[in-house]
Structures are given as structure tokens and as C-alpha cells.
Amino acid sequence: MTHLSIEDDDGSPLLLQAVEDATPVPVFNRQYAVTKTGSRDFLSRNENLALSLLLLISCYSAILIPAYFPLDRGSSLSDDYQQPRDLALLNRSASLLSRPCQPHWCPNRLRPLACCASLLDIPAFLQAERPWDLSPPQGLRGVEEHLALALASLPQPGLPSWLKGEGSCRRCVVVGSGGVLHGSHLGSHIDQHDIIIRMNNAPVPGFERDVGSRTTIRLIYPEAAPHSAIEYKKTTMVALVAFKGLDLDWLTSVITKQPLSFWSKLWFWREVVESIPLRPDNFRILHPEIVHKTGLVLKKYGLKQGHMMPTVGVSAVVMALQLCDHVSLAGFGYDMQQPHARLHYYETIRMSAMKSQVVHDISAEKVFLRDLVVSGVVTDLTGAI
């Protein structure tokens, strides 16, 4: 027999004897249990409370931290990013670039189209004031004072000298934000074009493999202008799409380095960038006729009721038709039949998010762009149109 002396806190024995080869029986007191070896099998009430609080805080952190401090947008790319998604499209793009540039290719094929002949010979950028019949963005009626200040801040409004050269043949690519660009590996092909047009805040750094590294013209409106100075590092020109008079004030402020008033800032629907690291002569204003005539053409394809505004993307395509001999598209063509597909190449938002917007007729724009592709006016590098 082996005598065990296990006492409670008050010193009274709890167990007097136990057979030597018997299994130790845990004994419980008010705080914890002990075995023959004296080890603790249960946590105290205070320890349980502390552990519960720790687990609760950990759960909240796992939910809230990603929301307030999101991971880099490129970090969520899947494993298929390492391999080209479609080698056939990649080879086709390489084949197109190997062919000689043919002057006036786009206008020669656009002119016979009954739907779209009106999209020829439109000034790309605004150069001087004139009477306007329509309000922004299809005209500038009612915001003439804002326009006068903006034009006065531009050292060289209108078409820049490097786009006026006669006899040169230009290949242009309009790079959309569509998720179809993800994994395309078209970046090196995009960079081989003479003019690369991008829209709004679509990022370039970190996505060069799919979207290229250069930007010739970035078409923006204030609320969608990139905030990071890095996005403008390899940018030649920024062109404003003026949706309201205040947008012209913003452009004047960015060029002259004179900040907008606090009251003016309140009228933007989101915070706008206050500085863009480009010289004043690298800014332009998109001519409202681009938006106006594009909207008129889209009405022929209209699938929604009401007044629909052209997207900046389709306006950029029409602008490219004024500047370029060959026009290619990359990252265009939202497929609403695949609600779980990527909406944009730089984030994981899904296609279903487009259903909530009511300003643009995306389906009509896709049919319009498809007509341009089928007629040979433009080329679709990513095959989603």
C-alpha cells in the first residue's frame, strides 16, 4: 500500500490510501483537478474567460483587418497566372504585330458601315471655346466659365504635335479593365504598339505581364483618376472626360497647383487626387463630340430604356479611331452569362457586380464593338467581344 497525501486548500486530506497498481483517479476541487502526478487537466474560471476573449478578438481580427487593410490587389491572383490562359490568342497577337502597318486601315473600313460612318473625323481633344447645344458630357453648355479657365491653363490644347505627323502609320491599342486580361500574358505585345490608351484608375505596376508597362493616353474623370504617383510614371498624357463643370475646375487645379476650395471638394462623390506628376502640356480635354456621337450610335443598339451614357472605355475606342491607322482592343467584353467570372483583371470582384449599375448599356456596347470587330475595323486581342 502506498499512502497518498493530497490536501485541499484548508489542509484536510481528500484521499487517504490507494492501491499501488490502481489507476489514479482525478480529484476535483473548487478550482481545478489533479492527478497522481499533480498535473492540471482543467483551466480555472479566470483562465477560461481569458482564453474565450482571446479567441473572440482573433475572430474579429480575421474579419475586420482584411476589410480595413486589404491585401495587395495582385496577391489574390490564382496559380494559373503563371501560364498563358490562351496560347492561340497570344500567337494571333504576335502574328498581327508582325504584319506591316497599313495607313488609313480603320477609316477605310469604318466609312462603309451604315451604323458608324458618323464616327469619322471627330476632333479628339478640345482646342477652343465654341457655342454648345448640349450640357456635359455631350457638350459644355452652361459651364463656359469653367471651360475658359481650364483652356487657359493648358499651354497646348488640341492635338499634340507628336500626333500630327503625316505619313506615319500608327498602331494603337485600347486596354480595358476586363478580367479577361488576367493570365493573358499580352503585356509585351501591348507595349509594342505606338499608342497605348488606358482608362481611369486601372493599375499598371504589378500587372505588366498581362497589360504592359507604358501608357500613352490615360482617359479619366476626377473621381476615377489614380491616386498613386507610380501610375503616372510611364504616362505621356492625361485626358479629361468632363461630366460636369466641377471636373473642369479640378483639371485647372491639378495643372496650376492651386487647390480646390473645401466647398468644391464636397461635390465630388468620392475623394479626388489633388496632384498628378505630369507637366501642364501633358494634359488635354476630350472633345465632347466623341461622347455625343458615340451615344447617338449606341442608341441604335439600345437594349435598355432611358438615356444611357457611353462608358469611358467605348469613348476611348472612338477616340482611338480618330488617331490611329490600326486599332486593337484588349480587356473588352463583359460576359454577363458568367456571373462568377472576374470583372476586372486587378481584383476579384465578380461579373455579377455589373448588374447593379444603371448608367451604361453594357450589352449594347458589346454588340457595337462586335460589329467593329466583324467588319475588320478593330481587332479583339483577348477574344471576349
C-alpha angle 225/226/230, rounded to 5°? 145
Q: Which of 110-114, 126-130, 164-168, 302-306 has the lowest mean pLDDT?
A: 302-306
What is the Cα–Cα distance from 42 to 33, expressed in whole angstroms? 6
Mean pLDDT of all residues in 209-215: 98
CATH 3.90.1480.20 domain position(s) in the chain: 80-126+157-241+287-380
Sequence-distant (≥ 6) Cβ neighbours of residue 13 within 8 angstroms: 5, 6, 7
What is the Cα–Cα distance from 314 to 298, expressed in whole angstroms? 10
- Tell me the per-residue pLDDT of 6-62, one tens digit each, with 9 for 90 and over: 344 444 444 334 334 444 444 444 444 444 444 444 456 666 667 666 766 665 455
What is the Cα–Cα distance from 219 to 237, expressed in whole angstroms? 9
Look at the block and give the residue holding cell 495587395. 72
What is the Cα–Cα distance from 243 to 240, expressed in whole angstroms? 9
**R_g (Cα) of the chain, nearest Å:** 32
What is the Cα–Cα distance from 320 to 171, expressed in whole angstroms? 10
| Preceding omega of 137 cis (within 30 degrees of 0) | yes
Core vs surface per residue 203-231: b (16+ CB within 10 A) or e: bbeebebbbbbbbbbbbbbbbbbbeeeeb
pLDDT of residue 331: 95
pLDDT of residue 20: 42
- Model confidence band, residue 232 (pLDDT cutoffs 50, 70, 90): very high
Which of the two residues, 63 and 149, has the higher pLDDT score? 149
- Tell me the per-residue pLDDT of 72-114, one tens digit each, with 9 for 90 and over: 444 334 444 568 878 999 999 999 999 999 999 999 999 999 8
Mean pLDDT of all residues in 293-299: 94
Sequence-distant (≥ 6) Cβ neighbours of residue 264 within 8 angstroms: 246, 249
Whether domain 80-126+157-241+287-380 has CATH 3.40.30.10: the reply is no
pLDDT of residue 48: 65
